[in-house]
Structure 1
């Protein structure tokens, strides 16, 4: 399936995916800033996700993908660093305010570890915000934001087509190269594995301090990305060359949906005045 219609659909979905991934980190960065804490998100989740982004970056370079894809991979890695910086900064800030600042052997401030998360602080600081805004209202608000982002992606595709309307384009030649394939599968495994520590942490924190929108945009970004690959062609060679990216995107969606189920469950339990474990 290589008709022009499929190529156009693939392009639209690809631009939509890019739009989602550009903003995916923003809701959690804002959530951390408002709570002055990054303890709602598992630091292992961020580390493993960052490792996946780095593997994706090197895979894109080795595969000779478009410069825009490589630039996006660098952008994702930068956002991972920003998220980690927030987490450690707020840990250091809390440690410096609540007690004597203990320095380690290298002279760095000692901060709480992932094994002893500041769950109570996250829950208490976000309690007023959660009770005044239901999960359904959040869903509607962020659903509207998602529609805007997807629309922006579609418009970006249209503008790109208009700007390059007189320039002939040849589809990139796909090469099944083992180094990029290995990195692609490593990246897929890391993206999947990153969700596990976050899901486990949610059992403790009841999703306090975690951005609902992070997973909304992640689901949308992964779904449109996988569909863009399939819309381009269903040729076995094309599917094989993109198998790792399809697996990483498609399977991650199911884990992100589970996180959304956790959100809905704990918010509903809170509304009923009970907070039993999932």
Structure 2
């Protein structure tokens, strides 16, 4: 099976293109959630443990990638992950601090249980424009990487020419720790979504997380399917692949709660009409 994949798909060019498309996906993935937190002035849609475990996974991923001498695109991604994780963590605690300061400024006159009116996040663009634009951005980055790869005047980083990397035990240990942390991070978010019904959580974040992980795996497999290379990258392949499954489950939660809310809306509307009729 591996030899068949190698004959059909092995290509340094495709590896580079997929690697840069993965970077583009991860540039996109954090932006909607950071924007949503900013508009809501809240990070309550995110589980703190989700961010902390994700940050731990990204830190070990970065160190492991450096130790193992993985593709430059992987190292660039790992650095970017960590920066965005820190931004999300800052937002959660900063907006909690702001809320606490507001309560103190009001002289503790607010009730012990505060029921804030949910805010509607106004997107930068309508969804029928935003989604095609984001997807087009990812595809455009891949196309530009393809053109640059074919250009004799541009040299893109491709990693070792033979597709091989050093099987360094420290990097492997860090890689598998990263894999476990990535998988563990989704568990508290799944339970958190049950409480929040995914309110304050960005759907594009998980859609492009899946896309980024799929293209990330593809960039590895297109580079080489040699057993040594696959074994060296196994933790990164497993971490990304299994995380895709959990992210699909989270998207399933989005769909379930949205459909449930839509089914409840007509019922509430009818109840309000009945109440008005009684008053009249």
TM-score range, shorter chain: 0.7 to 0.9
Three-state SS of the structure 1 residue aligned to 2:11 is helix
Contact kept in structure 1, 2:45 and 2:200, CA below 8 Å:
yes
Q: Does 1:266 align with 2:257?
A: yes
> Mind listing any 5+ residue stretches in structure 1 that lack a counterpart?
102-117
Is the alpha carbon distance of 1:154 and 1:14 closer, same or farther for their aligned partners in structure 2, counting shifts above 3 Å? same
Residue in structure 2 matching 1:184, options 175, 178, 183: 175
Query: Which one has a bigger Cα radius of gyration?
Result: 2
Per the alignment, residue 110 of structure 1 pairs with none
Q: Could you give the per-residue CA deviations for residues 111-166 of structure 1, whole angstroms, max 9, x where no partner exists?
A: xxxxxxx9954xx323x459x9xxxx85x555424421321221231243145557
* Number of residue pairs the alignment of both structures matches: 250
Question: What are the residue-to-residue correspondences of 1:228-267 with 2, within 5 Å?
Answer: 228-267=219-258
Q: Does 1:13 align with 2:18?
A: yes
Cα distance, 1:273 vs structure 2: 1.1
Is the alpha carbon distance of 1:2 and 1:11 closer, same or farther for their aligned partners in structure 2, counting shifts above 3 Å? farther
Contact kept in structure 2, 1:2 and 1:233, CA below 8 Å:
no
Is the alpha carbon distance of 1:69 and 1:224 closer, same or farther for their aligned partners in structure 2, counting shifts above 3 Å? closer
Q: Does 1:153 align with 2:146?
A: no
Contact kept in structure 2, 1:63 and 1:180, CA below 8 Å:
yes
> Mind listing any 5+ residue stretches in structure 2 that lack a counterpart?
1-5, 107-112, 266-280
Is the alpha carbon distance of 1:7 and 1:198 closer, same or farther for their aligned partners in structure 2, counting shifts above 3 Å? same
Q: Distance in 2 between matches of 1:166 and 1:149?
A: 21
Is the alpha carbon distance of 1:35 and 1:218 closer, same or farther for their aligned partners in structure 2, counting shifts above 3 Å? same
Q: Distance in 2 between matches of 1:119 and 1:165?
A: 61
Cα distance, 1:177 vs structure 2: 1.2
Contact kept in structure 2, 1:7 and 1:232, CA below 8 Å:
yes
Structure-1-length-normalised TM-score: 0.80
Q: Distance in 2 between matches of 1:167 and 1:212?
A: 36
Q: Distance in 1 between matches of 2:183 and 2:74?
A: 21
Per the alignment, residue 94 of structure 1 pairs with 99
Is the alpha carbon distance of 1:273 and 1:143 closer, same or farther for their aligned partners in structure 2, counting shifts above 3 Å? same
Per the alignment, residue 144 of structure 1 pairs with 132
Q: Distance in 1 between matches of 2:235 and 2:51?
A: 21
Three-state SS of the structure 2 residue aligned to 1:272 is helix
Q: Does 1:31 align with 2:45?
A: no
Contact kept in structure 2, 1:59 and 1:183, CA below 8 Å:
yes
Structure-2-length-normalised TM-score: 0.80
Q: Distance in 2 between matches of 1:175 and 1:164?
A: 29
